[in-house]
Amino acid sequence: MQGPAPILVAGIGNPFMGDEGVGPAVVETFRGSWEGSPLVETVEAGTGGMALLYIMEGRQAAILVDCARMGEAPGTVRRFTPEEARSSKDLPGISLHEGDLLDLVELGRELGMLPPRLVILGIEPSWIGPGGSLSPVVREALPSCVGCLVEEVGAALEALDPAAD
Amino acid sequence: MGESATRTVEIDVHHITRVEGHGNIVVRASDGTIEQVEWQVPEAPRFFEAMVLDQTWDHIQTIVSRICGICSVTHSLASLKAIEDAMSIPISDQTRRLRTLLHYGEFVESHVLHVGYLAAPDLLGKPSVVPLLETHPDLVKTIVRVHRFGNEIMDWLGGRRTHPVTVKPGGFSKLPRAAELLDFKQRFEDIVPDLVTIAEAIASVADRFPDFQRETEYIGLVEEGEYPFYEGQIGSTDVDEIVPVQEFERVANEYVSPQSTAKWTKWHRDSYAVGALARFNLNADNLLPLAAKTAADLGLEKGCVNPYMNNAAQVVEVVQAVEDGLRIIEELLTEGIAPETPEVEPTAGEGVGSVEAPRGILFHRYAFDESGSCVKANICIPTNQNHANIQKDFEELVPGYLDQGEDELRFMMEMLVRSYDPCISCSTHYLEVEFV
């Protein structure tokens, strides 16, 4: 197999900012509980912004696990594609440090760098702020988040196109 | 529109996120009289300092690398230097060179992102980089290619694209192989034409940088004969005195401004500036040939006091980083990579580490007890050092643009802030969405 593994699982967020770190926590738990496959690469993508485009490029599928304010009960996990959501973040456009995953996805699409299959697993936070641990309600939701991720990886594996290498 | 109508403005660019604040721009003027001009920074307290307390010396870098998604290498290097200073840990020339190369990776990716994503749309009259793809596709693709190159240097030497894992107090946990050095030597050479393309594109619109001048004190690292990013002592364009980094508090003079929860700084004037333009003004004589030529092509001269030209200085620094990076790789190839493993016995002590971050000089100070636990932390970031200067720029800029109307004035002020690219609200990147 040339190039990167066809399926990417990326946990996005900062493990030192409460529930903001749920993405990396879900991916780490998934990694520890799963037998692994050369077809799937798991990455803790942190808050690196643009670098995610290069990590996604050349794959058949990417599953991005991220903390998301969606108006749901804390700990709720929702699966959606970028087309199914729009950002309601109020960003002034004065700094590169204003991260928005959906903006990044739009740019990636324009540049032709996105995998054909791109799914976001959003997890509603209870608390975001300085501190290295998840809130109790989000911690309790970890198994169900990992369950959703396992399902999503399974679906991505089934959808793999063997001809696409 | 009558004069009194155009000279009455009410600008309030106000954005508050739930965790950390963004910068707010507030202007109030009535009938030509300016009542309020403020750069407000409701930044969260510096909680990372509290977070490293009681952590052991070998965990500090991992934590502080998360302060910023863009400047994770610089925070890492400043923390390592502070720990090494506190515990008298020696590092080899090889480590120094490899750290500098890694550091250059971050400068390339951060600067080219800033120039390409914030400055170029302003100069080319576009609201963001996405519409720029329609009108200037080759330029955007070149910018992405150079950004990726910087990112790959960080991946190669830091072990990851952000938040590096190979850098340790005393050295590296993983060293590059000769074949990798050869590969990157080629990549450094191959990227030069792309840098020239970007520099030419910016030079072709350099006359669109607003012509705004304000006498300013510029502060940054200085080192005899060098254009330093990783090493040096503190210099100022106002005085000849060179201050050891261990005495950085004497330069930064942090104080609390009523309009901000972020600490502001000043030295010989009411404010000072740090960043690419500061470094250029202090060290332009020591630029390598292609970087010096790039500065000339961009019309950037030592002594420039136009803050909008910070973006031009960033283009120059990307070239400098690649030119010097190539020199370092050639040295490493000639001398060979020596196997070495960092071995540290923690001791009690206090130390300071300073490096240039893309946005300006960065200071970390830590103290450790006998077991190597952190008992004191002070992190002074470049963005905070620029806040007072942005305020002073605003105060001088606004009267000159009051007649231009709210939209133009607001654009000028936002573009000014963008030229500094303040690092605010960057330790969290969560989504906030509604479903369609």
Domain contains A1: no
In this prediction, residue A93 carries a pLDDT of 62
> Mean pLDDT across the stretch A66-84?
94
Q: Are B217 and B267 in contact (CB under 8 A)?
A: yes
If you average pLDDT over residues A38-66, what whole number do you get?
91
What's the total number of domains in chain B? 1
Of A89, A92, A110, the CB nearest to B432: A89
Residues B49/B379, Cβ–Cβ less than 8 Å? yes
- Closest Cα in chain A, distance from residue B339 (Å): 29
Beta carbons within 10 angstroms of residue B407's beta carbon:
10
Q: Is residue A106 part of a domain?
A: yes
Q: What is the CATH number of the domain that holds B283?
A: 1.10.645.10
**8-state DSSP, B117:** I
Q: What is the pLDDT of residue A101?
A: 86
**Residue B358, exposed/middle/buried by CB under 10 A (0-12, 13-18, 19+)?**
buried
pLDDT digits over B297-349, tens only?
Answer: 999 999 999 999 999 999 999 999 999 999 999 999 999 999 999 989 999 99
How many CB pairs (< 8 A) connect A and B?
184
Three-class SS state of B336 = coil
Q: Which of A92-96, A157-161, B16-20 has the least mean pLDDT?
A: B16-20
Return the ∠ at Cα B286 (arms to B283 and B291), rounded to 5°. 100
Of A20, A88, A96, the CB nearest to B421: A96
Q: Region A137-162: what's the mean pLDDT?
A: 95
* Interface residue B421 vs chain A (CB under 8 A): yes
Helix (H) or strand (E) holding B219: strand B217-222
Closest chain A residue to B110, measured at CA: A96
Which residue bears the tokens 């190669």? B156
Distance, in Å, from the CA atom of B423 to the CA atom of B427, rounded to the nearest integer, reads 9
Q: Name the DSSP class of B41.
A: B
**In the structure encoding, which two tokens stand for residue B164, read together?**
């590096």
| pLDDT > 80? residue B21 | no
Interval B77-95: pLDDT, tens? 999 999 999 999 999 999 9
Q: What is the mean pLDDT of chain A?
A: 89
Q: Does A110 touch chain B (CB under 8 A)?
A: yes
pLDDT for A90 equals 64
Cross-chain residue pair B151–A51, CB shorter than 8 Å: yes
Per-residue confidence band for B4, with pLDDT thresholds at 50, 70 and 90: very low
Give the whole-number percent of chain A exceeding pLDDT 70: 90
Residue B169, pLDDT score:
97
Instruction: Give how many domains chain A has, as a whole number.
Output: 1
Across the range B232-256, mean pLDDT stands at 96
Burial B27-58 (b: 16+ CB within 10 A, else e): bebeeeeeeebbbbbbbbebebbebbeebebe
Q: What is the pLDDT of residue B17?
A: 36
Scanning the structure block, which residue is given the tokens 């037998």?
A35
Query: Domain range spanning residue A27?
Result: 7-164
Q: Domain with A65 in it: what CATH number?
A: 3.40.50.1450
Chain B: give the shortest CA distance to residue A30, in Å: 20
Chain B environment of A107 (Cβ under 8 Å):
129-130
Structure tokens at A10: 């990326």
Which of these ranges, B357-361, B398-402, B426-430, has the smallest mean pLDDT? B426-430
A89–B23: do the CB atoms touch at under 8 Å?
no
Distance (Å) from the alpha carbon of B415 to chain A's nearest alpha carbon: 7
Residues 88-117, chain B: which have Cβ within 8 Å of A? Answer: 109-110, 113-114, 117
Task: Give the confidence band of B184 by pLDDT, cuts at 50, 70, 90.
Answer: very high
Strand partners, A80: A120
Whole-complex ipTM: 0.83
Q: How confident is the prediction for chain B on average, in pLDDT? A: 90
List C-alpha distances in Å: B373 to A160, B82, B343.
49, 14, 17
The stretch A54-77 carries a mean pLDDT of: 95
pLDDT at B168 over 80: yes
Cβ of B117 and A96 within 8 Å? Answer: yes
Q: Is residue A76 part of a domain?
A: yes
| pLDDT tens figures, A83-126 | 998 877 766 565 666 667 888 898 899 889 999 999 999 999 99
- Counting Cα atoms < 13 Å in the Cβ hemisphere of B139 gives 22
Length of chain A equals 165
**Res A41: pLDDT:** 96
Distance CA A81, CA B300 (A): 46
Please check the confidence at residue B198 and state whether its pLDDT lies above 50: yes
Q: Tens of pLDDT along B103-153?
A: 999 999 999 998 998 889 889 988 888 888 889 999 999 999 999 999 999
Tell me which chain A residues have a C-beta less than 8 angstroms from the C-beta of B19: 17, 20, 128-129
Pairwise pLDDT comparison (B21 vs B17), residue with the higher score: B21
How far, in Å, CA of B166 to CA of B173, rounded? 5
In terms of Cβ atoms closer than 10 Å to its own Cβ (0-12, 13-18, 19+), residue B4 is: exposed
* Domain boundaries, position B373: 47-388
Chain A contact present for B231, CB below 8 A: no
Count of other CB atoms within 10 angstroms of residue A2: 5
B410 touches chain A (CB under 8 A): no
Interval B199-232: pLDDT, tens = 999 999 999 999 999 999 999 999 999 999 999 9
Domain-embedded: residue B230: yes
In a domain, B29, yes or no: no
- Yes or no: say if A124 and A73 are a contact pair by the CB < 8 Å rule: yes
Closest CA to B67 of B424, B334, B436: B424
CB atoms within 10 A of CB B240: 6
Alpha helices in B137-212 (DSSP H): 137-158, 178-204
Q: How far is the C-alpha of B329 from the C-alpha of A38, rounded, in Å?
A: 33
pLDDT band at B5 (very low <50, low <70, confident <90, very high): very low
pLDDT score recorded for residue B20: 42
Does residue B17 lie within any of the structural domains? no
Interface of B with A in 126-165 (CB under 8 A): 127-130, 133, 140-141, 144, 147-148, 151-152, 160-163
The predicted structure's pLDDT at residue B22: 63
Average pLDDT over residues B46-74: 88
Per-residue b or e along B86-122, where b marks 16 or more CB atoms closer than 10 Å to that residue's CB: bbebebeebbebbbbbbbbbbbbbbbbbbbbbbbbbb
Whole-angstrom Cα distance, residue A95 to residue B22? 9
Q: Does the pLDDT of residue B16 top 50, yes or no?
A: no
